[in-house]
Homo-oligomer: A and B are copies of this chain.
Amino acid sequence: MIKRLCEKIDEKGSPIVVGLDPSLKFIPKNILTKCFAEYGETLEGAAEAFGRFNRVIIDSVCDLVPAVKPQIAMYEQLGIPGLIAFQKTVDYAHEKGLVVIGDIKRGDIGNTARFYAESHIGSVSVGSENYSPFDEDFATVNPYLGTDSVQPFIDVCKENGKGIFVLVKTSNKSSGDFQDKLIDGKPLYYHVASKVNEWGKQCIDGVYSDVGAVVGATYPEVGRELRKVMPNAFILVPGYGAQGGKGEDLVPFFNNDGKGAIINSSRGIIAAYKREGYEKFSEENFGDAARAAVLEMKIDIDNALDKALN
């Protein structure tokens, strides 16, 4: 699957993934009012609003970006109707030719990890039938439980041609509480990155492995270090935009050929119509605002890479 993501990045000419993290706070009133009129102020109504919002965003950016990353917590918050909206969002993104990274951050032991993997990036047998319940292309995985919690995801990747991104260094402020603690002179995230490199050797497809890593844009120096520790790992970089990361911060996550990383922005794109400098977009035109934000982000990254690599 990493090969497909690389091809899609080349095709669209942008290493950008749009985080589909809807929130009732920034869904335009016209959508909310219609959904609440149809379904009441219910979980179903809110989930329907998420779905309609996402479809407009996907329509607005699908020719510009290779991938989307729905954050399942946003949908799980709305219970069953929310998870149905998650599933429909994955399907709609696939219809539009996008790679889907399920930001699920699951992690559990042995067989239990395998069940998560089958649900999200594999298939489940029921009697003589097979089903792919959520059917993302990649899933994010939490490594705290160790190798036997990650290997089942890798096995399912190999069986189904899918991929994972393992959390190494996250973009939040407290990520250092444990991830930065020194073990034999190196931070925990370094040790996790070494394991990611080792795990990834099982499924290298071209230059990169189907086992990638998550490293936050808010820690560019860490990105520089880990780019070397995991030469075959594609890096998924959250934290650009709303969380503070800028174009120039992203350079260290890429290899010298300008490949090897994909940058996520969520609120900065899907709620762009609320941003400073985007006043010309009305709430109803949130899709156009999202498109403009992707184009602005693309220029920011292109300029930073051009400056650094040429």
Contact = CB atoms under 8 A, between A and B. Distances in A.
A23 to B, nearest CB: 8
Contacts of A24: 125-126
A207 interface: no
Interface in A158-214: 167, 170-179, 181-184, 188, 191-192, 195
A145 B41 contact: no
A113 interface: yes
Q: Which bracket fits the contact residues of A?
A: 35 or more
Nearest to A130: B41
A10 B66 CA distance: 56
Identical chains bound together, number:
2
Contacts of A167: 144-145
A309 interface: no
A245 interface: no
A108 interface: yes
A182 B179 contact: no
Contact of A133 (B80, B119, B188): B80
Contact of A41 (B74, B126, B176): B126
Interface string A276-298: 00000000000000000000000
Interface stretch (A42-50, A51-59, A222-230, A251-259): A42-50
Interface in A65-111: 71, 73-74, 76-80, 82-84, 87, 105-110
A26 interface: no
A14 interface: no
A19 to B, nearest CB: 10
Nearest to A42: B126
A107 B73 CA distance: 10
Interface string A23-50: 0100000000000100001110110000
Contact of A127 (B36, B71, B142): B36
Given A107-B107, A145-B170, A149-B170, 12 more contacts: A21-B112, A24-B126, A74-B115, A76-B133, A77-B133, A79-B131, A80-B83, A109-B171, A145-B167, A145-B174, A147-B177, A188-B188
